[in-house]
Amino acid sequence: AQSVAQPEDQVNVAEGNPLTVKCTYSVSGNPYLFWYVQYPNRGLQFLLKYITGDNLVKGSYGFEAEFNKSQTSFHLKKPSALVSDSALYFCAVRDRGGGKSTFGDGTTLTVKP
């Protein structure tokens, strides 16, 4: 069975500071990993994904994530946070054979001016 953990319910950063939203996963074999963002009363917007190759993945809006196989982690990062980045962030995992995505509980990111 696949599972995702986002250990922090809430992350607070000041605008302009770097941000990290943590994600660890458990899946048999090599996973596909995704980050989505959800703004209030909106659907899930795709940010980035790891499929294979370079462990550092770059995505939308200046976000990036690093796949670490030994630590089974896929932390989301951004060098300089914006107030508009404040939202709910979900990490998701999918195994190589299927389409079902398993999501983490989500992390609320608040960027203060």
Q: Which spans of this chain sit near other proteins (rule: CB under 8 A)? A: 32, 34, 36, 42-46, 49, 51-52, 90, 92, 94, 96-106
- DSSP secondary structure, 57-87, as one string: EE-GGG-EEEEETTTTEEEEEESS--GGG-E
Least Å from the CB of residue 12 to other proteins: 19
Between residues 73 and 102, which has the closer beta carbon with respect to other proteins?
102
Between residues 99 and 113, which has the closer beta carbon with respect to other proteins?
99
Between residues 43 and 113, which has the closer beta carbon with respect to other proteins?
43
C-alpha dihedral (25, 110, 62, 70), degrees to nearest 10: -20
Least Å from the CB of residue 39 to other proteins: 10
Least Å from the CB of residue 104 to other proteins: 7
Q: Taking the alpha carbons of 37, 72, 7, 56 in that order, is the dihedral positive or negative? A: negative
Token pair for 12: 């607070």
Least Å from the CB of residue 7 to other proteins: 14
Between residues 46 and 61, which has the closer beta carbon with respect to other proteins?
46
Look up residue 97 and give its DSSP letter.
Answer: T
Contact 31, 94 (CB under 8 A): yes
